[in-house]
Structure 1
Amino acid sequence: MSRWIAQKKPGQLVSKKHVMLLLKELIDDATFWLDIQLIPQEDKEALLSSVTPIERYWYEYLFPLWINEPDPKKDTWKKELMAGKFQGNDTLLVEKICDAIESLGGNTFHCYIADLSMATDLLTSGITNLPLCVQITSIRDTLSESKQQNWLDTLQHWRIDRGLFVNYNPTVPQIESRIGLEAFRCSDQISKKCYCKIDIDR
């Protein structure tokens, strides 16, 4: 990532909104992760207890995996980010879904790396605090089969063992609440090493 950024002129980076947001997230995540590595165990536990269970899953498991292993999608999303092809059009929807989950008592987390590299629009956990990676798409079921397979392959690559693929109709009333309710329910009910798909079309 540092080599990628070093090759860009400052003005070129500043003009790319999502590149700048990604870099800020990476700096924040890497700083927190490094802090965890460098402090005594008792202080580490105290620091980790200050975040939600799903954030702890990110910092203790998924983020270190991404840091230490090759990302097969990295070259693709770097080009899309610099070309302005990544618009984050579902950001508001994801935030509303997270609000719905949290109103039910769950925890949520969403970030660029999970979205770009791990086919995960949001991470959530419910009463049991078990992490669940959620992918949402408005593509019709007959057209989303390749996306579903890519989602499954990606989750297995990152050794994510609980995933939910939500295929939704955006015209359904209160769709954010519907998706949030299903994600919250599944976060407690899906067993380990399970990948589920649901349709919300009416």
Structure 2
Amino acid sequence: AARRRGRPAPEPPEDGTAAVDAEPDPESVARAIVLRQLSAAPRSRAQLEDALARRDVPEEVAARVLDRFTEVGLIDDEEYARMLVRSRHRDRGLSRRALGTELRRKGIDDETAAAALEEVDGDDEEHAARELVAKKLRATASLATEVRVRRTYAALARKGYPPGLVAGLVREALAAEGAADDAPGWSDAEG
């Protein structure tokens, strides 16, 4: 059917697939959103709930779809939390404190987060901090010791490490390279 210029097409269309396709039901829309979200990256149930709410999926439909995805194992907050803790600690060197904050931000409940955080013990955390200190001090080797110390403290603080642990590791690393005597204000830095 030829259309004349200036005249809009009839709504709904008289022919073609758009003429026979009904509006998708909310459950199909919700399933498609959840599948798209999960295919991009693992997500917590809370993150998926937020994605559905942003797309105006009714709460009862969202709950039904998310319950079904949980039943079949496509949504598993416990495994998601363990995976996030392992990868963020290994790849980014985040401390337990920073990991706990990230889990809460992702909608993981406190009990599930605590169980996942058990995978990182004090030795793991100290080892990661030690590696970060060494890396930061290597990267700042051409700077004054005071600047190196300040930048190392700041870098590890952003990753959630306590100042006392960082102070000991920085002091140890600088002593190993013979620069500890140059570091003014150790008592100020340990705070």
Q: Same fold judged by TM-score > 0.5?
A: no
Please give the TM-score of this superposition, normalised by the length of structure 1: 0.26
Please give the TM-score of this superposition, normalised by the length of structure 2: 0.27
Q: Which has the higher helix share?
A: 2
Higher relative contact order (CA 8 A, sep 6+): 1
Larger radius of gyration: 2
